[in-house]
């Protein structure tokens, strides 16, 4: 059985080229917020529970097989662990899978900034989905012309 699953992306998988390379049938469901979590730079994007904060991201509809593929890409369970969260969109709540670094990885990578190429990949994704861009640095940023937005939302 291959039941569709919602996956909440908040880092490099916001980028449409990245997510379709990893999950070819991934379909954007909605932009969403993960309340009471904050985005943290630990070489790559991570989330930490913190009341009153929010992480902006995208809900994708993916297959069970693609979730297993994401587990491999995310280094689950060694680097990241898969967790189930409640993402909010326009007053509705959706249960979705996402990834959080393991406690050991959080310690090892504490204080390590995003590499510039990773920051750009994430920034393109945030701009594409028109969500607040937590990955922007002080340099000028633009959405490459070769990325076309879907008109469906």
Q: Which two structure tokens, joined as six digits, stand for 78?
A: 């060694």
Give the pLDDT confidence score for residue 97 in this predicted structure: 98
Asked if pLDDT for residue 3 goes beyond 90, the answer is: no
SS3 assignment, position 47: strand
Sequence-distant (6+) residues with CB within 8 A of 98 are: 7, 8, 9, 10, 34, 47, 57, 82, 83, 84, 85
Q: Where are the domains of the chain?
A: 5-129
- Alpha helical stretches, state H, the chain: 16-22, 64-73, 103-109, 116-129
pLDDT of residue 1: 53
Is the model's pTM score more than 0.85? yes
CA–CA separation, 32 vs 22, rounded Å? 21
Examine the pLDDT at 147 and tell me if it is beyond 80.
no
- Residue 44's DSSP bridge partners are 42
Residue with token string 């409640």? 86
> pLDDT tens for residues 14-55?
999 999 999 999 999 999 999 999 999 999 999 999 999 999
- Between CA 96 and CA 70 the distance in angstroms is 14
Taking the alpha carbons at both ends of the chain, their separation in whole angstroms is 27
What is the radius of gyration, based on Cα positions, of the chain?
15
pLDDT score, position 118 = 97
Class of domain 5-129: alpha beta
């Amino acid at each position: 059985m291959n039941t569709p699953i919602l996956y909440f992306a908040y880092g490099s998988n916001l980028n449409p080229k990245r997510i379709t390379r990893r999950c070819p049938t991934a379909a954007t469901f909605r932009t969403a917020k993960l309340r009471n979590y904050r985005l943290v730079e630990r070489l790559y994007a991570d989330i930490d529970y913190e009341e009153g904060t929010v992480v902006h991201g995208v809900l994708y509809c993916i297959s069970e097989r693609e979730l297993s593929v994401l587990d491999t890409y995310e280094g689950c369970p060694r680097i990241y662990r898969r967790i189930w969260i409640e993402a909010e969109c326009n007053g509705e709540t959706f249960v979705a899978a996402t990834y959080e670094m393991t406690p050991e990885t959080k310690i090892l990578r504490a204080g390590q900034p995003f590499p510039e190429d990773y920051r750009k990949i994430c920034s393109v994704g945030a701009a594409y989905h028109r969500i607040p861009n937590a990955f922007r640095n002080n340099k000028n940023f633009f959405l490459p012309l070769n990325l076309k937005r879907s008109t469906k939302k």
